[in-house]
């Protein structure tokens, strides 16, 4: 007989979110978390950490940028000096206090106390799956039996196999803030990897007056984005003083007289600190998955569209799956996995993951947001039946008023007006992309976006302006019957 309806393994935000959702559905739930050291470093659980995330740290960089813009208008401080003549003095203790408040407020929603009040059994310890005599999860010498299991572990950073890196030492993205608050903070920073965290940190550190070099082994930063979008963001970083080295391989790291030397291709560079932002991978090794028939491939779980592993009783979500770490995507996966795991056996309906209408955001300034297909993905699937519509933010009145003209809106559509995806770099990109995601989810045609009337002046105008480019394309000039068929969802060739 099962002790629980579901046992959730891992203290990631998605794991705690799943525990809360399951408990509210009157399921019996156990949540197993661990805080054991991870490969010689302390494992930091996002909900327990009192350090700012890269997203919140980027907010400090945005404030520094606003300070600079105020100085451009000749605004003066209370001391009578022009703001741009004043030295930017950062009170790190105040920032730390602010960060602690933010983190504690966010953590409270699904804290151990709240989960316990919902009826969740909160268990702290390192555990593993066992197959005999029946499938179970053993932790603290206790075997937890459940109808289903959900793996929602925290990830660990990918550590490149670089000679001397481990011996010389490095920081992860979540450890940067503590280094900045030290008595003698580093001045010259090397960031290895061009994932979202790397781009955010590079810009933030540069805005705080530090020397930053971003070293990327791939051809461009953010390899999941189209080259044009990635290059625009790279240009923004470089304009703010970040040195970006793409297609560059780090072969050796060495500590010399208190400095950290990096050999990158033929160039040797001296830094005070190194930050790893080369992505993350699931932490699965301790779970004894092979013994219970859970297969992996390239250090990733093999899952079907129901987020079910090769053992039908075990599911996974969030960071345990791998890929970019976005909280809203992890929560979406948790809902899908929970529904499929907890459904009544009498019903066969299952939810399947569909990422095509789920947007994500890289918190640079301006931010980058995307949903659906990239241009390359769309052309690979639909060949020449793809239009790329673009509009630059400098055409917007609000962009000129706010002096935030850097940006582009890109929409990817088919000949019949079906919206395949969108990418936006610019102010309020995170809010604008939600409308494109809604249009894709509701199967709206590009005509509906073109017909959108936004208030003036507003950032939303960029969507209608971009979509209107479709109306002027030669293939869009159809007769009234063709237009009518497109509007009712028929293919027109």
Q: What is the pLDDT of residue 51?
A: 45
Average of per-residue pLDDT values in the chain: 86
The response to whether 127 counts as a known ligand-binding position is yes
Domains parsed from the chain with CATH numbers = 4-47+110-157+281-353 (3.50.50.60), 165-278 (3.50.50.60), 356-487 (3.30.390.30)
What's the pLDDT tens digit per position in 208-252? Answer: 889 999 999 999 999 999 999 999 999 999 999 999 999 999 999
Dihedral of the alpha carbons of 146, 149, 152, 155, in degrees to the nearest 10? 110
Q: What is the pLDDT of residue 37?
A: 39
Q: What is the pLDDT of residue 481?
A: 59
Q: How confident is the model at residue 357 (pLDDT cuts 50, 70, 90)?
A: very high
Return left, alpha or beta for 222; rule: phi > 0 is left, psi -120 to 50 is alpha, else beta: left
DSSP 273-318: EEEE-S-EEE--GGG--GGGT--EETTEE---TTSB-SSTTEEE-G
Angle, in degrees to the nearest 10, between helices 429-441 and 461-471: 50
Q: Is the pLDDT of residue 40 over 90?
A: no
Q: What is the pLDDT of residue 475?
A: 53
30/441 Cα distance (integer angstroms): 34
290 or 132, higher pLDDT = 290
Q: Residue 489 has what DSSP assignment?
A: T
A 10 A CB-CB count for 388 gives: 15
The response to whether 403 counts as a known ligand-binding position is no
Q: What is the pLDDT of residue 106?
A: 78
Q: How confident is the model at residue 278 (pLDDT cuts 50, 70, 90)?
A: confident
H or E, element range at 421: strand 419-425
What's the pLDDT tens digit per position in 134-192? Answer: 999 999 999 999 999 999 998 888 899 999 999 999 999 888 888 887 888 899 999 99
**∠ CA(269), CA(271), CA(276), 5° rounding?**
100
The response to whether 279 counts as a known ligand-binding position is yes
Q: What is the pLDDT of residue 50?
A: 43
Tokens found for residue 83: 């703001």
Q: What is the pLDDT of residue 84?
A: 45
Return left, alpha or beta for 465; rule: phi > 0 is left, psi -120 to 50 is alpha, else beta: alpha
Q: How confident is the model at residue 36 (pLDDT cuts 50, 70, 90)?
A: very low
94/168 Cα distance (integer angstroms): 31
Question: Whole-prediction pTM value?
Answer: 0.85
Place of tokens 């010498």: 141
269/489 Cα distance (integer angstroms): 58
Q: What is the pLDDT of residue 173?
A: 87
**∠ CA(460), CA(333), CA(38), 5° rounding?**
110
271/187 Cα distance (integer angstroms): 8
Q: Is the pLDDT of residue 348 over 50?
A: yes
């Amino acid at each position: 007989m099962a002790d629980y309806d579901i046992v959730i393994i891992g203290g990631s935000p998605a794991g705690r979110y799943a525990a809360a959702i399951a408990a509210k559905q009157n399921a019996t739930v156990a949540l197993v978390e661990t805080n054991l050291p991870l490969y010689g470093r302390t494992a930091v659980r996002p909900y327990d950490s009192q350090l700012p995330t890269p997203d919140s740290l980027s907010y400090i960089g945005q404030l520094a940028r606003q300070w600079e813009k105020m100085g451009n208008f000749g605004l003066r401080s209370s001391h009578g000096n022009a703001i741009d003549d004043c030295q930017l003095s950062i009170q790190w203790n105040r920032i730390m206090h602010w960060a602690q408040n933010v983190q504690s407020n966010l953590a409270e929603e699904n804290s151990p106390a709240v989960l316990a009040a919902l009826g969740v059994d909160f268990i702290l310890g390192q555990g593993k799956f066992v197959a005999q005599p029946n499938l179970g999860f053993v932790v603290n010498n206790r075997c937890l039996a459940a109808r289903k299991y959900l793996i929602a572990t925290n990830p660990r950073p990918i550590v490149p196999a670089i000679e001397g890196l481990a011996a010389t030492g490095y920081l992860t993205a979540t450890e940067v803030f503590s280094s900045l608050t030290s008595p003698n903070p580093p001045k010259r920073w090397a960031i290895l990897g061009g994932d979202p965290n790397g781009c955010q940190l590079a810009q933030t550190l540069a805005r705080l007056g530090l020397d930053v070099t971003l070293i990327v082994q791939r051809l461009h930063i953010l390899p999941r984005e189209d080259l044009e979008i990635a290059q625009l963001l790279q240009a923004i970083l470089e304009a703010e003083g970040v040195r970006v080295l793409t297609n560059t391989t780090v072969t050796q790291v060495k500590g010399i007289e208190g400095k950290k030397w990096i050999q990158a291709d033929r160039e040797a560079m001296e830094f005070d600190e190194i930050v790893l932002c080369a992505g993350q991978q699931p932490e699965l090794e301790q779970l004894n998955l092979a013994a219970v028939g859970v297969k992996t491939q390239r250090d990733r779980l093999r899952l079907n569209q129901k987020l079910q592993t090769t053992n039908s009783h075990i599911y996974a979500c969030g960071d345990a799956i791998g890929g970019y770490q976005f909280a809203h995507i992890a929560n979406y996966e948790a809902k899908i996995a929970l529904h499929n795991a907890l459904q009544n056996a009498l019903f066969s309906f299952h939810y399947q993951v569909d990422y095509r209408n789920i947007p994500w955001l890289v918190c640079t300034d301006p931010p980058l947001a995307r949903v659906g297909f990239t241009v390359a993905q769309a052309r690979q699937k639909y060949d020449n039946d793809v239009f790329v519509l673009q509009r630059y933010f400098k055409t917007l009145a609000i962009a000129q008023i706010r002096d935030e003209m850097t940006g582009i809106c890109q929409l990817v559509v088919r000949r019949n007006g079906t919206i395949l995806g969108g990418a936006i770099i610019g102010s309020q990109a995170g809010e604008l992309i939600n409308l494109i995601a809604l249009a894709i989810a509701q199967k709206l045609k590009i005509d509906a976006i073109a017909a959108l009337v936004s208030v003036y002046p507003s950032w939303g105008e960029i969507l209608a302006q971009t979509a209107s480019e479709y109306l002027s394309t030669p293939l869009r000039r159809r007769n009234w019957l063709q237009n009518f068929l497109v509007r009712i969802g028929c293919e027109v060739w």
